Amino acid sequence: MNNPKIRVIVTGASGMVGEGVLHVCLQRDDVEAVLVVGRKPCGTTHPKLKEILHADFFNLAAIESQLNNYDACLFCLGVSSVGMKEDEYYKLTYRLTTHFAETLVKQNPAITFCYISGAGTDSTEKGKSMWARVKGKTENELMKMNFKRAYNFRPGALEPIKGLKNILNFYNYLGWLIPVIRLLAPNSICKLEDLGAAMVNSVTQGYEKQVLEVTDIVALAKK
């Protein structure tokens, strides 16, 4: 039985993770249309790709009407907590993500929301790690919203897709560590390509868990 064709929104496509997820979507026959919403151009062109440039993700009124008739949002937008105070990280992680999600679910009651979180996220919201608490609160809030389904992906370390433009410097200089990580801690790393495939498959096929660790991501990517 063939998977249904889906229409997806992708955010964060000018970053490494979002670019990789977008790349996977554009290669998939079961993704018929992709809308990228971002602050700056993603740098990709494709017959099934449409792009909206929008500077303020806290005020979506100007583009809200263009966000309807989609089956899923693959939310890859995020910031590093390094050097950031908790109130600013909270604003750019919890508030920004949930505001975008609330806007989407009003426009698309049957939409599936896929959120890129992180390994070590604190679902209790009470741990010592600031970023993990904020991510945990964001995950928990998304799972309370009236989406068709909501999934939180915790990929850990990522093996980038060769040939893409936005690979982080870390991977350019320390890419030799990837085989070492795979050997010593195989459940802490996955391929960016698998992450994208798992996100699409969660929309077309569903998954039994709403929080997906590395082992779940790899398993779902193969379905």
Give pLDDT tens digits for 154-204: 998 888 888 787 766 666 656 667 777 777 777 888 999 999 999 999 999
Per-residue confidence (pLDDT) for residue 169, from 0 to 100? 62
Q: Retrieve residue 13's tokens.
A: 């496509």
Please, are residues 89 and 80 in contact by the beta-carbon 8 Å criterion?
no
Please, are residues 169 and 15 in contact by the beta-carbon 8 Å criterion?
no
| Residue with the larger pLDDT of the pair 184 and 63 | 63
Average pLDDT over residues 50-72: 97
The rounded distance, in Å, linking the Cα atoms of 77 and 74 is 9
Please, are residues 135 and 117 in contact by the beta-carbon 8 Å criterion?
yes
Which pLDDT tens digit goes with each residue over 70-111? 999 999 999 999 999 999 999 999 999 999 999 999 999 899
The rounded distance, in Å, linking the Cα atoms of 105 and 114 is 13
Q: Retrieve residue 201's tokens.
A: 């498959």
The structure's pTM equals 0.92
